[in-house]
């Protein structure tokens, strides 16, 4: 960069060389661009800051017209007018865009001051300029940010105002309504903005709503009320009972203090009444079904008595008690006896179904060797297979010394039925095979209540197979695969129905897969025998309302604690070295729909306590739980988790849920916590199985 120059015009009033150099040094100390011109606008001084700002060296611009060197977007007329004003002794300052030497533009702030000689005449002009580009850009960014913030506020307010959900915002410990959307005003039937919550709803005193608001304010945690019964006042003083789902969500300020609470209210009166009506209808249907089952059971007993008599008399005739028989008579008596035995089998099936449906069927829980019952079942079916020219294959040696926990007689009954069906529906020359293994991973379509391991027994045939459209109905009562009048195989269509229900009574399952024209494979799933029997409390399941004291308290505690449970689970997952994928998972993906699932599970426990449970409810769970947990497993597969990480997630969930729910529910004096938490743990185990099923299906579809 060149040394500063001060050009002295041929003017007798101009300062001398010494004063010019001294002035140049002073102006060089200014950290702004300083440009001096004579009265005609020719440049006489150009400091270093001017060189840096405009890109010209001093020696290149001294003596030149300043308008040419530092062009602005002013017109020549405007520039000439400005120079004329300056020559008249007027000061000027302002902002305008100018060009550098390289053609780039920037926004400059310029202050021009006329210089006067000893006689008072204007002899020159000094201009000081500053680059305002950064400030202009910062101001533009600030304006954009403010515009975006304003638009975002308008967008959020539009969403809040037009949301179909009833939303309101209250502020401060008095819960004064700041905002309430139209849906909220319609729901409560009154204007509330500007009024305190207690003043807006005085009739809620003593109904628990104020207390929940206080809890949310003090704790800073969301409070949830599910199907809360509220008695509201109508205009005129009439009181009406309505049911709501409430969420009181504290909103923390920057310093962490709770200043506002967002209230969401959803009226569920219709759903509650509909469910109550449905429960009443279900109860009536159950009563009717029990009466029907009892009638069938009684009639089956009554019918068996004469059938047994017919069979007995036929046997006496065959023995010749009433005299000798001709060969033709003996053949007819044999037919009578055979038909009587077949009829007895049919009646026994109807009786078994009636017992299962009426809840009178009981099964034993004992440790039984798999090989023992399989050998018995094969021995019973062997003559039938030989008569039809079929081959029986026994692959049960793969199970080794495996044992299951269940009822040996009922398992034998199931296997005999499956083998008999295989023989019945397989053409001569075909084969029926049976194999047994022990596995920790059940098939996706098996609905099993525990974590395993499982004894898996496959009965496979090379018969006619089952049409795909009938595959889902083969376990329904009175359904025959071949429903035509010309079918060759007889029966009531109850064998598979009873077999599956017996399997599920033993906390197992019966599944099928089939290919039309190539055969079928029925799979019996049974609990593998553990080294020790589970504790009695773990096996308890409510069969009647309020059978397990405190089950509803545990359910309500679980619903209340859903959000902190999910937060704690997220923290534990991120810190757990066995779940490395958690540290790469977004918070919203980590939490997924876990809170909804836990709230619904809590409601399921309340329902069990109030209505009495059934093994089917434990096995299948609610539809909401099944959908949520299946989607949870599929989501974990999609974002790259492993199956072991998913199992670990459920293990951590059970470790967290137990102590927290125990502490919350223990406040009630009448709680059998051991039994109630045992029921909860079994539901969580079922949820894990369903989630693993969703995980595996997603992997099979290539989603993970």
The tally of CA atoms less than 13 A away on the side-chain side of residue 197 is 22
CA-based angle 634:636:641, to the nearest 5? 135
Long-range Cβ pairs for the range 188-197 (8 Å, 24+): 188/232, 188/265, 189/232, 189/234, 189/235, 192/168, 197/170
419-471 pLDDT per residue, tens? 888 888 888 988 898 988 888 778 878 888 777 788 889 999 988 888 887 77
Mean pLDDT of 76-84: 71
641 close to 703: Cβ distance less than 8 angstroms: no
**Other Cβ atoms closer than 10 A to 40:** 12
Q: Read off the pTM.
A: 0.38
Stretch 106-126: mean pLDDT: 84
Residue 5: band (very low, low, confident or very high) from pLDDT cuts 50, 70, 90: very low
Find where tokens 């305008």 sit: 96
Q: Could you tell me how many helices (H) and strands (E) the chain has, helices first?
A: 23, 18
How high is the pLDDT of residue 16? 44
Structure confidence by residue, pLDDT tens digits, 593-621: 677 777 777 777 777 776 554 433 333 44
The answer, yes or no, to whether residue 694 has pLDDT greater than 70, is: yes
Beta strands in 149-222 (DSSP E): 166-171, 176-180
pLDDT at 182 over 50: yes
Residue 517's pLDDT band (cuts 50, 70, 90): confident
pLDDT at 541: 53
pLDDT band at 545, cuts 50/70/90? low
DSSP structure string for 211-252? HHHHHHHHH-S-EEEEEEEEEEEPTTS-EEEEEEEEEEEEEE
What pLDDT does 702 receive? 64
Closest Cα to residue 589, out of 650, 652, 636, 631?
A: 636
pLDDT of 486 strictly over 50: no
More confident residue, 135 or 533: 135
Residues near 383 by Cβ (< 8 Å), separated by ≥ 6? none
Q: pLDDT above 70 covers what percent of the chain?
A: 78
Tracing tokens 């090379």 back to the chain, one arrives at: 462
Element (H, E) at 422: helix 408-424
Does the pLDDT value for residue 533 go beyond 70?
no
What per-residue confidence (pLDDT) applies to 24? 66
Query: Above 50 in pLDDT, residue 226?
Result: yes
Which of 159-163, 173-177, 285-289, 401-405 is modeled with the greatest confidence? 173-177
CA 386 to chain centroid, in Å, comes to 54
């Amino acid at each position: 960069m060149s040394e500063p120059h001060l050009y002295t015009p041929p003017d007798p009033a101009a300062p001398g060389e010494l004063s010019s150099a001294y002035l140049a040094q002073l102006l060089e100390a200014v950290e702004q661009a300083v440009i001096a011109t004579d009265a005609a606008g020719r440049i006489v001084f150009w400091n270093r800051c001017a060189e840096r700002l405009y890109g010209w060296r001093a020696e290149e611009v001294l003596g030149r017209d300043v308008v040419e060197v530092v062009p602005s977007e002013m017109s020549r007329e405007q520039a000439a007018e400005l120079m004329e004003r300056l020559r008249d002794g007027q000061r000027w300052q302002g902002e305008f865009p100018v060009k550098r030497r390289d053609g780039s533009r920037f926004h400059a702030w310029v202050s021009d001051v006329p210089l006067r000689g000893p006689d008072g005449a204007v002899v020159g002009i000094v201009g000081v300029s500053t680059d305002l580009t950064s400030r202009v850009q910062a101001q533009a960014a600030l304006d954009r940010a403010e515009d975006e913030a304003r638009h975002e506020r308008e967008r959020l307010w539009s969403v809040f105002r037009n949301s179909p959900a009833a939303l309101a915002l209250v502020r401060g410990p008095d819960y004064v309504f700041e905002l309430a959307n139209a849906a909220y005003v319609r729901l409560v039937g009154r204007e509330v903005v500007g009024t305190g919550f207690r003043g807006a709803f005085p009739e809620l005193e003593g109904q628990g709503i104020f207390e929940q608001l206080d809890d949310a304010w003090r704790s800073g945690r969301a409070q949830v009320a599910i199907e809360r019964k509220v008695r509201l006042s109508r205009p005129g003083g009439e009181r009406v009972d309505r049911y709501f789902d409430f969420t009181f969500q504290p909103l923390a300020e920057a310093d962490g203090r709770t200043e506002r609470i967002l209230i969401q209210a959803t009226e569920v009166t219709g759903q509650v009444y509909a469910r109550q009506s449905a429960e009443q209808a279900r109860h009536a249907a159950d009563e009717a079904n029990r009466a029907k089952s009892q009638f069938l059971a009684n009639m089956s007993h009554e019918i068996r008595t004469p059938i047994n008599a017919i069979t007995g008399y036929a046997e006496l005739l065959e023995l010749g008690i009433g005299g000798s028989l001709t060969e033709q008579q003996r053949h007819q008596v044999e037919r009578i006896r055979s038909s009587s035995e077949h009829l007895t089998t049919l009646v026994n099936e109807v009786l078994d179904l009636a017992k299962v449906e009426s809840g009178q069927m009981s099964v034993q829980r004992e440790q039984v060797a798999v090989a023992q019952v399989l050998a018995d079942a094969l021995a019973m079916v062997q003559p039938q297979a030989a008569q039809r020219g079929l081959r029986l294959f026994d692959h049960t040696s793969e199970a080794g010394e495996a044992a299951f926990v269940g009822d040996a007689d009922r398992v034998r009954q199931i296997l005999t039925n499956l083998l008999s069906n295989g023989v019945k529906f397989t053409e001569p020359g075909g084969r029926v095979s049976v194999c047994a293994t022990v596995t920790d991973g059940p098939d996706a379509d098996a609905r099993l209540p525990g974590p395993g391991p499982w004894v898996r027994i496959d009965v496979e045939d090379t018969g006619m197979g089952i049409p795909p459209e009938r595959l889902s109905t083969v376990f329904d009562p009175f359904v025959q695969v071949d429903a035509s009048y010309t079918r060759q195989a007889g029966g009531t269509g109850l064998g598979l129905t009873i077999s599956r229900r017996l399997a599920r009574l033993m906390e197992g399952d019966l599944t099928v897969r089939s290919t039309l024209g190539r055969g079928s494979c029925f799979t019996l799933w049974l609990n593998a025998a553990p080294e020790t029997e589970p504790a009695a409390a773990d096996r308890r399941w409510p069969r009647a309302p309020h059978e397990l004291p405190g089950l509803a308290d545990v359910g309500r505690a679980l619903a209340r604690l859903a959000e902190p449970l999910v937060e704690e689970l997220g923290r534990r997952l991120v810190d757990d070295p066995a779940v490395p994928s958690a540290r790469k998972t977004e918070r919203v993906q980590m939490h997924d729909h876990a809170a909804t699932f836990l709230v619904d599970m809590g409601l399921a426990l309340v329902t069990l306590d109030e209505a009495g449970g059934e093994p089917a409810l434990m096995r299948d769970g609610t539809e909401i739980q099944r959908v949520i947990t299946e989607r949870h497993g599929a989501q974990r597969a999609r974002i790259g988790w492993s199956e072991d990480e998913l199992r670990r997630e459920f293990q951590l969930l059970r470790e967290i849920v137990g102590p927290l729910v125990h502490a919350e529910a223990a406040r009630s004096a009448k709680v059998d916590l051991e039994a109630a938490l045992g029921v909860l743990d079994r539901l969580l185990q079922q949820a894990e199985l369903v989630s693993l099923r969703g995980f595996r299906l997603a992997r099979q579809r290539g989603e993970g």
